Amino acid sequence: MHIITLSFDDGFRQSNLCIAQAYERFGLSACFNVLAAPEELNPHEYKWDSPRGDFALWNELQARGHEIMPHGYRHANKGELPLAEAQDLITRCLEVFRQRLDGFDPRRAVFNFPYNSSTPELEAWLPSVVRAFRSRGQMINPLPHPGQVRLGTGGYGPDNCEAHLDATIEELLARPSGWLVYNTHGLDDEGWGPISADYLDRLLARLVRMQSVRLLPGARALLSAAAAL
């Protein structure tokens, strides 16, 4: 068994719409990680000029079967902040999600760190408020299992990440089993380390034909482990 989670960050409107359509063509659910207050993203952030989505879009995509997960209140590097400030931003993010994303329950959520940057203190605290979290680490994780709270991830950028993603998938498939959580962002020219829309179509078409591969969003993969008990 090999599970692949392509974890799309930052909520680029046009890219997310195209990604959702690509996944739907294959009967799959995409994994989108979005900010609670994208308007507070610092102006110097990479590709800030690309429009972000909003909770009207996130609720629409969720209703279509896609997974919408928290990526922070704003795009702050939690690894560089005092613990109390980082906790406050995460708490504020989860509260906005409770208020604005239909049916959101933090106990079933995966918090996806901006920059994949956390601290040991935050990682010790987060399991008390969310189901799991995604942070920098080995991209190929053990298969989902009860008690799993840390999802290691990585990616490649700022340029196109397709060659790196292909190589990482081959590394996964060379193993007897594993769960790849690969962090990417937008399509074509949007975001850090993008992939092309054509590449995404070809990749999904190739992977769905592989009997050992399942393409799952992060929280849904964890839920599948709980359901197997």
- The count of other CB atoms within 10 Å of the CB of residue 28 is 20
Which domain covers residue 189, as residue numbers? 2-227
CATH number where 163 lies: 3.20.20.370
Name the token pair of 33: 């990680």
Q: Would you say the pTM of this structure is higher than 0.85?
A: yes
- pLDDT (0 to 100) of residue 229: 40
pLDDT, averaged across the chain: 93
Q: At what angle do helices 55-63 and 13-25 cross, to 10 degrees?
A: 0
- pLDDT (0 to 100) of residue 50: 79
DSSP character at residue 149: -
> For every residue of 15-73, which 3-state class applies, written as one string?
HHHHHHHHHHHCCCCCEEEECCCHHHCCCCCCCCCCCECCHHHHHHHHHCCCEEEECCC
- pLDDT (0 to 100) of residue 39: 72
- Please identify every stretch of the chain with a pLDDT value under 70, giving residue numbers as ranges: 41-49, 225-229
Name the token pair of 108: 């079933």
Count: domains in the chain: 1
Report the distance separating Cα 19 and Cα 195, nearest Å. Answer: 11
Of 49, 47, 98, 45, nearest to 74 (Cα)?
Answer: 45
- pLDDT (0 to 100) of residue 55: 96
